[in-house]
Structure 1
Amino acid sequence: MPAETPTSLLTVFLLGVSLGLTACAATCLPFIGTLAFGKAGGRRAGLVDTGLFLGGRLLAYAMLGGLAGLVGAGFVKWLAGGLGNLVIGGVACLTALLLAAPPQKHHAVCGRPQKLASFPPFLLGVALTLIPCAPLATLLATAAAGPSAGQGALLGLVFGLGALLTPMLVLIPACASLGGHLRGDQPWLAGLLRQGAAVVLLLIGCRRIATLSPLAALLVLLCVLLAALLMHWRRWRTPRAPVFPLVFRAGAD
């Protein structure tokens, strides 16, 4: 009934808050916190990563709610079959590979962006919604019992807004700020922080994949390591062009 809609949305919002204030930080911080710390971009970069990460989660919750409303209860059972661990592990391994790649500085002339693009935090935000914990399972079951995909998407969006009230709003910038301070005080640590964070992300990503198939996790681990070695080998083999400084003379045209 229409009169029940505000109460239902409030209940869904509070359900999202219960997730954001409890399981969210424990589940997500090892992934996004490690990435922010390894990038060592400072507090401002950490705030950007926080926005991208939480934006990915919000979009994913709305999409999951819509799919549950469209497909029905079968979608909830399918999602609980382990797909989430596979996606989370794959995204974590991809992020580790990007983090371990040789850094490329911002080009002042052509404006080429840095090597690590903004999509890894966003992808991590999307992927880390795919484990149906108790609050999310309740949301999806409610959406699946609803009359349409649109209502399911609305419930997912309201749930996601509640889940945005999370300690991650503070923890992600704190990790980035800590990494930035370490890099600023000891510049030689920049590469070590980046490579160390990549190793951590690779290991926890493979651990997620191993819950479904240990052999697949081993293959992914070997492929990522081989790809990282190839990227560094190409950098070592690429000759560096000499740099000729421009000299401007007074009176010259």
Structure 2
Amino acid sequence: MATHVITGAGSGIGAAVAARLHARGDGIVLHARDAGRAKELAARFPGARTLVGDLADPGRLSWALSHQSLPDRVDSLLHIAGVIDLGAVGDLTPKTWRHQLDVNLIAPAELTRLFLPQLRAARGHVLFVNSGAGLRASADWSAYAASKHGLKALADSLRHEEHGNGVRVTSVYPGRTATPMQVRTHQQEGKDYDPSLWIDPESVATTIVTALDLPRDAELNDVTIRPGR
């Protein structure tokens, strides 16, 4: 039975992926920012294990995980959690920059470092849910796009470093997806939100599970997904 460590399983794409893997009997280890959230996830996915650590404070993740029971085997590490705060460069504060860089880039790097021994032993898979903003930046998207451009660099470097260890690395770049984050994005943009215009999280989940299930003779490096409407 494969074991998957998943961030962002509370809603949106992460919840869809966790549900798929849980339903087929895979082991899932769900990251939560605090004990209350971990309890909610455990109730939602019976039999799942949870790990608690604040992605907004990546410098303490090693300490937090050292006080918990980690899985002996990790077949995949799925970085799906993320945050977004839009604003013009002239208005963004260091705190806003730092929060997005911590959650979207530095925490994934640190979690990857901490789980690399298990991933190498299992010849596992690290998958990053990036964004269309990780390939191009628009006005008011500088901090978020910078964190996602950095995430692409992290994935590309990791792929070269770990190829010899049999670790596969995939970046998925969804366009706008009908998730709670998209609701927040529309609010920040001052736009009406119509989920029917955007990608269903289940469609992104299908892409992610396909990448995980690909036979060992192939590897999906970069996958871009765009709304079909």
TM range (shorter): under 0.3
TM-score by length of 2: 0.26
Structure number with higher strand proportion: 2
TM-score by length of 1: 0.24
Q: Looking at both structures, which has the greater relative contact order when contacts are Cα pairs under 8 Å and sequence separation is at least 6?
A: 1
Larger Rg: 1
